[in-house]
Structure 1
Amino acid sequence: MSKSATGFLILTLLSGIFHLSIAENSTATLPLIACAVFGALFLLALIAGRRIKFDPVLR
């Protein structure tokens, strides 16, 4: 996992936990929106990391 993917995973988890700790009802709050954005960026970083690191001719 790349450093950017790890960072987005941590941000996703932190914003999700923050949303759960402050939200009393199930409304869309700013931490929940940030959690969705960071989650999407995490998936994109994983996909980009696989494409950049894939090299069939290493020798």
Structure 2
Amino acid sequence: MSKSAAGLLILALLSGAVHFSLFEDTEISLPLLGSGVFAVLFVLALAAGRRIKFDPVLR
């Protein structure tokens, strides 16, 4: 896992925790939307890292 993917995972988890700790009664909040955005970016970072990781060795 790349550093950017790890950072995005941490941001997604932290913003989800903020949503559940501060906005228990609301269904949609800004931290929950941020968590979704960070999660999508995390998956994209994993896919990009995997594509780069398995490229043939350049000579």
What is the TM-score when the length of structure 2 is the normalising length? 0.89
Give the aligned partner of residue 46 of structure 2.
46
Unaligned ranges ≥5, structure 2: none
- For the aligned residue pairs, the C-alpha RMSD in angstroms reads 1.4
* Residues 51/25 of structure 1: CA separation in 2 closer, same or farther (3 Å cut): same
Post-superposition offset of 1:5: 0.2
Give the aligned partner of residue 14 of structure 2.
14
Aligned residues between the structures: 58
Deviations 1:11-51 (A, max 9, x none): 00000000000012142000000000000000000000000
Aligned sequence identity (%): 64
Q: Which ranges of 4 or more aligned residues in structure 1 deviate by more than 6 Å?
A: none
What is the TM-score when the length of structure 1 is the normalising length? 0.89
Unaligned ranges ≥5, structure 1: none
